[in-house]
Structure 1
């Protein structure tokens, strides 16, 4: 039914038949050959009242709408289709029906609105098209221009992929980096659906010359090490010879990371000690306050134990102080803690630091226990947030630039049951970080296990395949503005497909994530191949055991025995 091509001329694909069930919905009829699917974008023209120089005038505007349902309204009679041996075209001929005209579809669409250049967003005219209005397919150029805020963004953009319902290469989708780093990002998906892959795509984009991001990835499973290839591969993508820009990717392991004991808070200590008694808390609290008041730059484990012993004596709580002694020894006498070494936040000429513009640092925590991961993240995020507050208030600070932190397995650090030490500082940053230049990206395969407030504070969402009903419900509770039509798509998405919504886009849409420039580091093991190779190694040896080595000169003796 399309009567023109897309070369700037109308592409009529259907005609409005009636209003829909809701105020913003309408129904149009189209032949099957358009293949309109849920999530596709259409448009029509309508007169809209606009304020112009304090006068209300009508003006023709392009009104965009999204397809939310599709159902057949004319087809072959069911009773003739019950026999699979009878071809449909034969049935049509017997009935005197043209087989070329048997398929008509009713398409339900919801009005998005017209694009308002002043607002850089869609404005809903709150009217639906009249019956008989011609419906056109939205062009690729219009969708690239209007779907996200990237077109008007003066800063860097992140090319994440292309519109799912258009042919590959037709409609590229970019997100404005300023928008999602300041209002926070969540990437939610079932295992194997591409959440880590998508996060790495965003990291690649943020390391390009247009952004030069200061970025930290907290990596509990060691999945992001291949981002190191940014330094070596695709130099035409990541480097800028004119500016002399070349991105840096630092991979830090637990051996590189120390928490300075003086950076802990009193409540951190109580958490590390794992449920100390009231008397022990009383002794430790007094001892810690005394050490803080001494204004020592460093605090050692021995100093804490000595101060606890002194406080215990003065408070007649010697037994509690002695019990604290071995608890403190067990908690703090480990590689993670040190009296003077610490994590330097910012790089300089003399010291390797965690963050600087043009650097992505990956903290690999795969050899660290969960509680240590949570404690390290707590101290680190608190330091980053405090440094950014100092910088924004014009005080001396380690971080004179904004930072973006991505947390893989976000449910570990902000669990719904509130059990993680890191939840408090994450909640603070998510609610206040926009003012101070600390952005957070939460990546998780279990949305239902993330604290609802934390998830709802992530104002840009990339949601991939989710089959678990509890996780689907968590997304419904926490993600605003995504229609039920798109949420119903989540179980059927294939790896690499996503619903993108939130503050960085003007309306939700379905996207196909682009291919990475670097290798993916979170692929599943090729289990059967490894089994076969190991079997072949063992099969070369009798009973899977190597022949024992025989000492020289003992062969004859063994035979005589």
Structure 2
């Protein structure tokens, strides 16, 4: 193609660069494409040879020749010798017009100053999304910006966010509810059998299988003691029917008493010992308290799923103050409740729910060994099947290469911020659709609070500079300014005393 000259229009000034857009006239239509690679023609040294990715097409306006009525996909391809022209700012504004689709504006299209970049909300949530970026690139603020825009658009929505660092509570103080170890009150009996095993079974190998069999039998007996079980046609170990921990302990003791050999009692002793440890540990009281034995399932789901939302559509689940060894189970229970609720509420008026997982590589790791298998399985299932039932998944991570293989490819929209690790860059490149390949070389060079967006949530792949977020709506994720903080002195003794008190009481 001819080398494209620039002028005052910043889009035209970028014309011909890798990642820029070009247009080609075919009949009365414009074909829009992205430049993927560039090379100098060795024969003439005057022309550039480019590989391009076709993005979509639009009609040609008669008077100005500009693009209008743009749509994704190409029906007719240009012939060799077709003239190549740069896409102007006016063209870009038409390409990114909403065309009556529900959308949220998140920033400006690079390198323009006025062309607004927007996400199509229904497409973004209907087919899942992932926000990726290295530490310090503005990932948390970008996440808060997107969720705030969604909440502003749909104040009666239903969003559940897992916050492992306690960053987002302050950001959503005015339009959400924050739940942590102090007020979550997650009933233990809502766990299914697999989650019970992760909490109560500590053995490995053949002994683990034996302990799980015993727990299944005793758990079913404990659930059957509840009067709610009488009205159920079929009761299983997975049925969310309340039971008493004391009943489970007593049943284990009774079953152990029926055995003749002392060696056969070891599995029962292991389970009873673990059960007693959980009951006695105050760190687990948010889940295993004796006050959580009532049938509170309806009120708990209403609270966590924001049904009704009452203008506060997002629940922030702060897991930072919970014991690390049980965090996976808490996330597993919440994710499974969302998915099961969606399945069993079919036939009712659908209430779609968005589940956002910060630090998603913790819960869906590429390594299949180790703890947290229940949360991995349910999140993988939501990624594969959730959209059929109105469950949307938002994955936020700084290490996409540590995610389970295939999960990222289930995300219809990918927002990629700067990634410093080459392995992460290659992983994201493999997950991005063909039409966005021209942008990929820019990922290591993106500035803070910039990203490449591609997939279902945008008209065409785009480089976006995020809007500034109001200070009151920002997450508590700012890096400490060492030189400034180290200049301050005084009050260290009182600060240490307060810290130790919170440390010992395991509270905020």
Above 0.5 in TM-score?
A: yes
The 5 A counterparts of 1:116-155 are: 120-123=71-74, 125-130=76-81, 133=83, 135-147=84-96, 150-153=98-101
Pick from 57, 60, 68 the counterpart of residue 36 of structure 2. 68
1:417 maps to 2:367: yes
SS in structure 2 opposite 1:380?
Answer: helix
Pick from 385, 393, 408 the counterpart of residue 339 of structure 2. 385
Q: For 2:109 and 2:46, locate their aligned partners in 1 and report how far apart those are by CA, in whole Å.
A: 26
Q: Residue 123 and residue 346 in structure 1: after superposition, are their counterparts in 2 closer, same or farther (change >3 A)?
A: farther
Pick from 222, 240, 255 the counterpart of residue 291 of structure 1. 222
Q: Residue 210 and residue 306 in structure 1: after superposition, are their counterparts in 2 closer, same or farther (change >3 A)?
A: closer
Q: Deviations over 1:81-127 (max 9, x none)?
A: xxxxxxxxxxxxxxxxxxxxxx9773735133414899942215333
Q: For 1:372 and 1:289, locate their aligned partners in 2 and report how far apart those are by CA, in whole Å.
A: 22
Pick from 258, 263, 268 the counterpart of residue 321 of structure 1. 268
SS in structure 1 opposite 2:314?
Answer: strand
Counterpart of 2:481 in structure 1 is 526
Matched-pair contact (CA < 8 Å) for 1:112–1:124: no
TM-score if structure 1 supplies the norm length? 0.72
Q: For 1:269 and 1:184, locate their aligned partners in 2 and report how far apart those are by CA, in whole Å.
A: 29
Deviation, structure 1 residue 503: 1.7
1:507 maps to 2:460: yes
Deviation, structure 1 residue 451: 0.8
Q: For 1:318 and 1:538, locate their aligned partners in 2 and report how far apart those are by CA, in whole Å.
A: 54
Deviation, structure 1 residue 187: 0.2
Matched-pair contact (CA < 8 Å) for 2:118–2:458: no
Matched-pair contact (CA < 8 Å) for 1:157–1:205: no
Q: For 1:138 and 1:315, locate their aligned partners in 2 and report how far apart those are by CA, in whole Å.
A: 81
Deviation, structure 1 residue 128: 4.6
Counterpart of 2:278 in structure 1 is 331
Q: Unpaired segments of 5 or more residues in structure 1?
A: 1-26, 48-59, 75-102, 232-247, 540-561
Deviation, structure 1 residue 213: 2.2
Deviation, structure 1 residue 279: 3.4
Pick from 126, 129, 141 the counterpart of residue 182 of structure 1. 126
RMSD over aligned Cα atoms: 3.0
Q: Residue 125 and residue 400 in structure 1: after superposition, are their counterparts in 2 closer, same or farther (change >3 A)?
A: closer
Pick from 109, 132, 147 the counterpart of residue 163 of structure 1. 109
Q: For 2:25 and 2:110, locate their aligned partners in 1 and report how far apart those are by CA, in whole Å.
A: 25
Q: Residue 309 and residue 119 in structure 1: after superposition, are their counterparts in 2 closer, same or farther (change >3 A)?
A: farther
Matched-pair contact (CA < 8 Å) for 2:144–2:474: no
Q: Deviations over 1:150-172 (max 9, x none)?
A: 4342xx31212111122x2x210
Matched-pair contact (CA < 8 Å) for 2:144–2:171: yes
Counterpart of 1:251 in structure 2 is 178
Q: Which has the larger radius of gyration?
A: 1
Deviation, structure 1 residue 174: 1.1
Q: For 1:128 and 1:165, locate their aligned partners in 2 and report how far apart those are by CA, in whole Å.
A: 30
Say how many residue pairs are matched.
442
Matched-pair contact (CA < 8 Å) for 2:41–2:48: yes
Counterpart of 1:39 in structure 2 is 19
Q: Residue 340 and residue 449 in structure 1: after superposition, are their counterparts in 2 closer, same or farther (change >3 A)?
A: same
Q: For 1:123 and 1:129, locate their aligned partners in 2 and report how far apart those are by CA, in whole Å.
A: 16
Q: Unpaired segments of 5 or more residues in structure 2?
A: 8-12, 60-67, 228-240, 494-508
Q: Deviations over 1:361-384 (max 9, x none)?
A: 211121123332211111111111
Q: For 1:526 and 1:446, locate their aligned partners in 2 and report how far apart those are by CA, in whole Å.
A: 25
Q: Residue 265 and residue 315 in structure 1: after superposition, are their counterparts in 2 closer, same or farther (change >3 A)?
A: farther
Higher mean alpha-carbon deviation, 375-384 vs 207-216, is at 207-216
SS in structure 2 opposite 1:470?
Answer: helix
Q: Deviations over 1:333-377 (max 9, x none)?
A: 4213234268767689xx755423441121112112333221111
Pick from 452, 457, 463 the counterpart of residue 410 of structure 2. 457
SS in structure 2 opposite 1:151?
Answer: coil
Q: Residue 270 and residue 332 in structure 1: after superposition, are their counterparts in 2 closer, same or farther (change >3 A)?
A: farther
SS in structure 2 opposite 1:29?
Answer: coil
Matched-pair contact (CA < 8 Å) for 1:411–1:447: yes
Pick from 424, 432, 439 the counterpart of residue 479 of structure 1. 432
Q: For 2:356 and 2:90, locate their aligned partners in 1 and report how far apart those are by CA, in whole Å.
A: 32
Matched-pair contact (CA < 8 Å) for 1:261–1:300: no
Q: For 2:258 and 2:49, locate their aligned partners in 1 and report how far apart those are by CA, in whole Å.
A: 80
Matched-pair contact (CA < 8 Å) for 2:413–2:456: yes
1:108 maps to 2:50: yes
Q: For 1:342 and 1:252, locate their aligned partners in 2 and report how far apart those are by CA, in whole Å.
A: 20
Matched-pair contact (CA < 8 Å) for 2:106–2:146: yes
1:371 maps to 2:325: yes
Q: For 1:341 and 1:498, locate their aligned partners in 2 and report how far apart those are by CA, in whole Å.
A: 47
Q: Deviations over 1:375-419 (max 9, x none)?
A: 11111111111112122234xxxx951111111111111111134
Say which structure is richer in strand: 1
Matched-pair contact (CA < 8 Å) for 2:70–2:94: no
Deviation, structure 1 residue 227: 2.2
TM-score if structure 2 supplies the norm length? 0.79
Q: For 1:210 and 1:282, locate their aligned partners in 2 and report how far apart those are by CA, in whole Å.
A: 46
Q: Residue 172 and residue 221 in structure 1: after superposition, are their counterparts in 2 closer, same or farther (change >3 A)?
A: same
Q: For 1:205 and 1:35, locate their aligned partners in 2 and report how far apart those are by CA, in whole Å.
A: 30
Q: Residue 32 and residue 114 in structure 1: after superposition, are their counterparts in 2 closer, same or farther (change >3 A)?
A: closer
Matched-pair contact (CA < 8 Å) for 1:374–1:422: yes
Deviation, structure 1 residue 284: 1.3
1:279 maps to 2:222: no
